[in-house]
Homo-oligomer: A and B are copies of this chain.
Amino acid sequence: MVKKHEMQKYLDKAEVLIEALPYIQRFNRKIIVVKYGGSAMVDDELKEQVIKDVTLLKLVGFKPIIVHGGGKEISRWVGKVGMEPKFINGLRVTDDDTMELVEMVLGKVNKNLVQLVESLGVRAIGVSGKDGGLLKVQKKLADGEDIGYVGEVTEVNSEILNDLLEKDFLPIVCPIGMDDEFNTYNINADDAACVIAKAMGAEKLAFLTDIEGVYKDPEDPETLISELHVREAKELMSSGFIGGGMLPKLNNCIEAIESGVSRVHILDGRIPHCLLLEFFTNRGIGTAILDDENTKFYKGE
């Protein structure tokens, strides 16, 4: 026999599940690309929460794809191996040795994520952009300078991801690609997530970041923007207010939206379970970038 107040606690739980119903329905069999990086990848507790969130998305019928970076772990290993950083015109160069190490570290991070998902009983597979020729790249110059094996994606061979989704895997992608001569290149993870979302016709693209979202005025925390239409985003970018790190991210967001992704989110990865909150509650997390016309179905609308 349970006490009244205890009973209430259970009923509250049931209520939470029931509240999730329309969201579960909305994203049923939809592809969701999650760019995973930043603090959420360093802090072990946050990491576990993100993975649990994505696993839950998979189990309730969504089709999530994780694209991850590996920034801090790469730095740690560069130090550990005692590599000499090289620079051209002040830009860090990804030479052969660096590329080799980056691929090793990203590979390790990749399999570690596979491990976490598998431990939750969901079928994961880790691939890099080499597998099945997923990501074709060309050398990316920085201000006209050759800074080594840094690539920009020219083609996404989405067939491999479709095959893996069809076989019910949760694909975890590390941002490595090959050029036409099959050399290895490093790719910015935000860019990789963006092109994959576009190529897969994703319903949603979510960036886990270390910021609360986009601000009208980065100096003023009160100016956090909840929803940003593409048109407004472009204005904001040309306003000069937006800081350096945010500019390419916003660019990615706009590009994704304009290629047919329904909604792009810049989430604060430092908030526990930010993905679940974003998908299953009416709590606005971070900034949603959306099509100028797209105003249907979503919370608050």
Contact residues in B for A103 (Cβ distance below 8 Å): 107-108, 111
Say yes or no: A115-B184 contact (C-beta < 8 A), given A17-B276, A130-B126: yes
- A35 → chain B closest CB, angstroms: 20
- A297 → chain B closest CB, angstroms: 11
Q: Is the CB of B59 within 8 A of A160?
A: no
Q: Is the CB of B123 within 8 A of A133?
A: yes
Q: How many residues of A contact B (CB 8 A)?
A: 76
User: Is A272's CB within 8 Å of the partner chain B?
Assistant: yes
User: Is A155's CB within 8 Å of the partner chain B?
Assistant: no
How many identical subunits does the complex contain?
A: 6
**B-facing residues in A5-36 (Cβ within 8 Å):** 7, 10-22, 24-25, 28
Within 8 Å by CB of A21, from B21, B56, B108, B271, lies B56
User: Is A242's CB within 8 Å of the partner chain B?
Assistant: no
User: Is A221's CB within 8 Å of the partner chain B?
Assistant: yes
- A2 → chain B closest CB, angstroms: 7
Contact residues in B for A123 (Cβ distance below 8 Å): 132-133, 160
Q: Is the CB of A281 within 8 A of B10?
A: yes
User: Is A246's CB within 8 Å of the partner chain B?
Assistant: no
